[in-house]
């Protein structure tokens, strides 16, 4: 295959890896502080994309047309709305079930995901059909043979990586992050030390969900289209990435996200059949990896999670 084509596949795989890593980091944050899986997380990504789209349409209706300002407002609206949604999920759905069997939380968050999808499908105008997402970034590109380096995709890649870096920096290098890691290590001891357990849980869910909101914006800007059911596959892939990387480890979630994107890319290039089978190939390899290393690629002790 032409080197330029291979480079194009690799670059596209990096972009997918950023989106998957952003979703996976949210899963690992939730698991780190409460040992729960928030299975509506993929649909929070979808909701963030639609909040961004609705914000853009509102700004357009008000005559705001400065591209840089629109992108910032759209991204902030999605992040803030999803942060609030994440905190509400934690406060009214997850925390009340903390003493219940884990299957209860799993079931409730699964149902919540269905509710979010149906709300968008039923109440967003023409929500059953794919919605065009505006091109808000510069579309200049550089052609190097069969490889096209697009400015908008490069910006999205850098923004996605920077967002993940900032979240990791907050968790690893700030007092808030220290409190989050203390709760993840031993919630009872953290309470004795004066840490407000409920506040830390709410903040952690808000951070993870805000990250999902930004992931939804990145997804929309990259594909220039969003649909009410995109959270289904994104949720499964994000959770798979978090598990194969080592559930509870931010670094593992990042590695898992890029690994899954790499497997999809390899499937698209190497399979003799349609690239539509790339997900089948990726999931099959993940199954093999989990059979070989059930604890994930980066297995951290419970005391070092998150």
Contact between 265 and 9 under an 8 Å Cβ cutoff? The reply is yes
Residue 273: predicted pLDDT: 61
- Position 275 scores a pLDDT of 60
CB atoms within 10 A of CB 38: 31
- Dist. CA 58–CA 12, nearest whole Å: 31
* For residue 55, pLDDT beyond 90: yes
Unique residue bearing structure tokens 């961004």:
52
Residue 282 sits at φ, ψ, to 5 deg, of -65, -45
Model confidence pLDDT, tens digit, residues 234-286: 999 999 999 999 888 899 999 999 999 999 998 888 776 656 688 888 999 99
Return the CATH number at 271.
1.10.3470
The stretch 201-227 carries a mean pLDDT of: 97
Question: Do 234 and 242 meet the contact criterion of CB atoms below 8 Å apart?
Answer: no
- Residue 303 has what pLDDT? 41
Give the per-residue pLDDT at 185.
Answer: 85
What is the pLDDT averaged over residues 190-206?
A: 93
The closest of 177, 205, 180 to 190, measured between CA atoms, is 180
Say whether pLDDT at 129 is over 60: yes
Whole-number average pLDDT of the chain: 91
Total domain count for the chain? 1
DSSP characters over the chain: --HHHHHHHHHHHHHHHHHHHHHHHHHHHHHHHHS---TTHHHHHHHHHHHHHHHHHHHHHTT---HHHHHHHHHHHHHHHHHHHHHHHIIIIIGGGTTS-HHHHHHHHHHHHHHHHHHHHHHSTTTTS-EEPP--S---EEEETTEEEEHHHHHHHHHHHHHHHHHHHHHHHSHHHHHHHHHHH-HHHHHHTT--HHHHHHHHHHHHHHHHHHHHHHHHHHHSEE-TTHHHHHHHHHHHHHHHHHTT-HHHHHHHHHHHHHHHHHHHHH-SS-GGGHHHHHHHHHHHHHHH-TT-SS---GGG--
pTM attached to this predicted model = 0.94
State yes or no: pLDDT of 304 exceeds 50. no
Measured distance CA(215)–CA(196) in Å, rounded: 29
Query: Which pLDDT value is given to residue 34?
Result: 85
Q: Which is it for strands 147-150 and 225-226: parallel, antiparallel or unpaired?
A: unpaired
Segments forming the whole domain that contains residue 238? 3-304
Residue pair 254/211 in contact (Cβ under 8 Å)? The answer is no
Q: Per-residue pLDDT tens for 134-170?
A: 999 998 989 888 888 999 999 999 999 999 999 999 9
Cα-trace Rg, the chain: 19
Q: CA 298: distance to chain centroid? A: 19
CA-CA-CA-CA torsion for 149, 227, 53, 148, nearest 10 degrees? 10
């Amino acid at each position: 295959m032409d080197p330029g084509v291979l480079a194009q596949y690799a670059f596209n795989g990096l972009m997918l890896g950023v989106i998957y890593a952003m979703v996976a980091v949210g899963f690992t944050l939730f698991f780190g502080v409460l040992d729960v899986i928030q299975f509506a997380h993929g649909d929070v990504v979808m909701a963030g994309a639609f909040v961004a789209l609705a914000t853009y349409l509102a700004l357009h209706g008000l005559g705001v047309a400065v591209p840089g300002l629109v992108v910032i407002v759209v991204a902030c609206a999605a992040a803030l709305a999803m942060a609030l949604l994440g905190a509400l999920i934690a406060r009214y759905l997850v925390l009340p079930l903390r003493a219940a069997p884990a299957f209860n939380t799993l079931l409730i968050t699964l149902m919540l995901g269905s509710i979010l999808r149906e709300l968008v499908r039923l109440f967003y105008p023409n929500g059953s059909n794919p919605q065009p997402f505006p091109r808000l970034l510069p579309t200049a590109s550089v052609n190097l043979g069969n490889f096209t380096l697009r400015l908008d995709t490069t910006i999205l890649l850098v923004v996605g990586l920077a967002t993940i870096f900032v979240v990791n920096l907050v968790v690893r290098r700030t007092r808030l992050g220290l409190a989050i890691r203390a709760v993840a290590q031993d919630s009872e001891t953290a309470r004795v030390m004066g840490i407000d357990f409920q506040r830390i849980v709410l903040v952690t869910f808000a951070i993870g969900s805000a990250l999902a909101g930004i992931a939804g914006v990145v997804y929309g800007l990259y594909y220039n289209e969003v649909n009410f059911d995109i959270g289904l596959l994104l949720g499964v892939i994000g959770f798979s990435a978090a598990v194969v990387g080592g559930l509870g480890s931010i670094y593992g979630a990042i590695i898992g996200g890029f690994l899954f994107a790499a497997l999809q890319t390899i499937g698209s290039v190497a399979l003799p059949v349609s690239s539509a089978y790339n997900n089948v190939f990726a999931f099959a390899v993940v199954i093999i990896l989990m059979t070989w290393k059930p604890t994930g690629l980066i297995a951290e002790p419970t005391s070092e999670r998150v």
